[in-house]
Structure 1
């Protein structure tokens, strides 16, 4: 019997191997493999193992990619730190999951399930992805703002940038109008599409179209001017320059 271990956390891998030896006795343990790339290469060059223990989140991505590239009928027991309710939903499909940190009693239950042939030999990858992959973000399309006693809604397309001043967050429109927001700049950053807005420093979160000029500055930093802004000292730190250029070049 050959058991393949795919796990990028060394302590978790060591525990898995220890439990496998305890429950299977004389067994050939292959691995530990810690990346998608290494695993795919091994599976393509060798005969399929009898059983696979596989972490979902590996060093180079989600392990689902392995089973999209290499078609297997081998039973798989996943190990994962994902929410236990999503995991329980998959037990109806007779594919088992071990929640990290691995409980020896749960490991024993999973092995018993495998040995009594209750695990399906096929993996429903699309359902796996839907339940276990991170959910797509839903970004705001409008912001509710205050202007004196008046409250109005500003479409995201009209907002040039957001900025913080004396612990108050503002948004500024393309027309140069400034409004107070109830949220912090950090909260606002999480609500807008990062493909459209970039946090250039602690004070500013701006739209690409709002940038009027970009200039080289000392210590490998950049200086930015924004349309309808009187702030002439907007700097991008050296640590953010690479990400900023990548954002501009997307």
Structure 2
């Protein structure tokens, strides 16, 4: 088996090489590449690689940038430091990955899975497309500023300054942490997709709240929750029983 390693950490590439040789002495390491640039150069030319091990984070960018510039048709096993939530998403799409530092048993399982999947090139291509979409989604850029109308002028409002956004008579309003109100000419659904989910959470149909604006949480009947926010909201904010578990997990993240 002929292998190419894309890894910018010397210790990590040496450890992976050692483990691969230990598991299969017949494995040949064709190249160790340490950047997006060197990887594009290598895969732009004919090569004999049968399997590629690729770190997601490289010194000069993210590895998915390689696929934007050159076509790689061989199966790829990613090494990553992503959290377990992201890793589970990869697994749902039948994607091979290894959590750093690479474990010998996990590496052996990944090699076995490669041998099985190599029987169908089509599935490998589908899996690759699925992983790239997931990586891009996890590296999505989020809105940092909204340009809003205020009296006779336009004002840039930083999303980090927004305490919460809500629907008032069909109009979306944003309340900043210093208790100023602005109207946003957008649907709440669109705003939800534009905001960083690690900071903002849509607690119900009417309201999206910033984590920093939550003063406390009270238990309500039937497993619901009541949020108290600052600045104080004019109505009671209720998180449904169906959402309460996910909401508490988000707060605790």
CA drift at 1:95: 1.7
Deviations 1:75-119 (A, max 9, x none): 100000011221121223222111111121111111111122278
- Aligned residue in 2 for 1:81: 81
TM score, norm. by length of structure 2: 0.54
Q: How does 1:56-71 map to 2 (within 5 A)?
A: 56-71=56-71
Mapped partners of 1:100, 1:137: distance in 2:
31
- What is the root-mean-square deviation in Å for CA atoms of aligned residues? 2.7
Mapped partners of 1:90, 1:50: distance in 2:
21
- Aligned residue in 2 for 1:10: 10
Q: How does 1:3-152 map to 2 (within 5 A)?
A: 3-117=3-117, 120-122=123-125, 123-124=128-129, 126-133=132-139, 136=142, 139=159, 140=162, 142-145=175-178, 152=179
Contact kept in structure 2, 1:34 and 1:59, CA below 8 Å: yes
Mapped partners of 2:29, 2:7: distance in 1:
13
Mapped partners of 1:154, 1:23: distance in 2:
62
Deviations 1:150-208 (A, max 9, x none): xx42559xxxxxxxxxxxxxxxxxxxxxxxxxxxxxx8xxxxxxxxxxxxxxxxxxxxx
CA drift at 1:6: 0.2
Distance change >3 Å, CA 84–CA 153, structure 1 → 2: same
Contact kept in structure 1, 2:56 and 2:80, CA below 8 Å: yes
What is the number of equivalent residue pairs in this alignment?
A: 153
TM score, norm. by length of structure 1: 0.54
Q: How does 1:165-204 map to 2 (within 5 A)?
A: none
Mapped partners of 1:127, 1:58: distance in 2:
18
Mapped partners of 1:144, 1:86: distance in 2:
31
Distance change >3 Å, CA 60–CA 134, structure 1 → 2: same
Mapped partners of 2:143, 2:100: distance in 1:
26
Contact kept in structure 2, 1:49 and 1:74, CA below 8 Å: yes
CA drift at 1:30: 2.3
Question: Computing the radius of gyration over CA atoms, which structure comes out larger, 1 or 2?
Answer: 1
Mapped partners of 1:41, 1:32: distance in 2:
13
Distance change >3 Å, CA 28–CA 126, structure 1 → 2: closer
The gaps in structure 2 that reach 5 residues or longer are 145-158, 163-173, 184-211, 213-253
- Aligned residue in 1 for 2:152: none
Deviations 1:37-58 (A, max 9, x none): 0011011123251000000000
Contact kept in structure 2, 1:8 and 1:59, CA below 8 Å: yes
Deviations 1:6-45 (A, max 9, x none): 0011111111111111223222202221100001101112
Contact kept in structure 1, 2:64 and 2:132, CA below 8 Å: no
Mapped partners of 2:66, 2:136: distance in 1:
17
Contact kept in structure 2, 1:35 and 1:59, CA below 8 Å: yes
The gaps in structure 1 that reach 5 residues or longer are 146-151, 157-186, 188-250
Mapped partners of 1:27, 1:115: distance in 2:
13
